[in-house]
Structure 1
């Protein structure tokens, strides 16, 4: 595990808000030179702390007005491997997130759809036909108060 100081944490917080910032602009905000900031960013990448760069898309603006969290319990764990389920569910474009969890359900999925009728189509034609699917519980997202950010 890498040791992080206050400047490393400041870099991570700033990059989590806007990963397009230049090292010079970022360094200016936290009191470091451009080369020193760049070296720290490089070290954070090489150590795996910075695992990538992503663009945050607004599902609503793209026409996806419904987000549903599905709890999926596999019915036939012995006959269908977890890898088969994971491979099949990853191929569904409406499924944004697949989490293997411990508890009542085996998987938690985040699914986006244009509306409830579109979600029903995704559920019936795609999710329920996946290998090994047993029980499914749906929870519709009403509002999202906090987006994932730095730890």
Structure 2
């Protein structure tokens, strides 16, 4: 675990809100020079605290108005089954995330679709034909709030 001071935490919160902020802008905001802010950001990256910066696409603006969380229970277990399922499911463009989880289901998928009929097509033609799929349960997302992670 990396020791973070109050300024590190402020920088992390600011970057969580908007990862495009420059070191100069962060420095001005938190009373640091641009080089000092850059060194802190670099140290956080090297320590693995900052593991990258991501671009967030607006799925609805791109025509994908439905997001569904799908619990998938495999019919057969074993490394071969897991590997085959993971290879096949990651090749489906509508599948945004694949999470191997512990609990009732073996996997949790986040799927985007244009509408419910489009989701049904993805479910029937792509998901249900994957190797090893036994049981699925769908939860349609109604709304989403983004909450930054705990920084103490």
Shorter-chain TM-score range = over 0.9
**What is residue 147 of structure 1 aligned with on the other side?**
146
Q: C-alpha deviations, 1:68-99, integer Å up to 9, x for none?
A: 10000000114843122112111111111111
**What is residue 113 of structure 1 aligned with on the other side?**
113
SS at match of 2:52: coil
Q: C-alpha deviations, 1:25-75, integer Å up to 9, x for none?
A: 111111111111000000011111111111111111110010110000000
Mark the runs of 5 or more structure 2 residues left unpaired by the alignment: none
Q: Please give the TM-score of this superposition, normalised by the length of structure 1.
A: 0.95
In angstroms, what is the RMSD of aligned CA positions? 1.3
Q: C-alpha deviations, 1:75-129, integer Å up to 9, x for none?
A: 0114843122112111111111111111111111100000011101100111111
**What is residue 125 of structure 2 aligned with on the other side?**
125
Distance 1:150 1:93 in 2: 27
Report whether the alignment pairs 1:69 with 2:69.
yes
Mark the runs of 5 or more structure 1 residues left unpaired by the alignment: none
Displacement of 1:149 in angstroms is 2.6
Distance 2:84 2:6 in 1: 43
Displacement of 1:148 in angstroms is 4.8
Displacement of 1:20 in angstroms is 1.1
Q: Which runs of 4+ in 1 moved over 6 A?
A: none
SS at match of 1:149: coil
**What is residue 52 of structure 2 aligned with on the other side?**
52
Alignment of 1:77-116 (within 5 A): 77-78=77-78, 80-116=80-116
SS at match of 1:77: coil
Distance 2:27 2:49 in 1: 18
SS at match of 1:67: strand
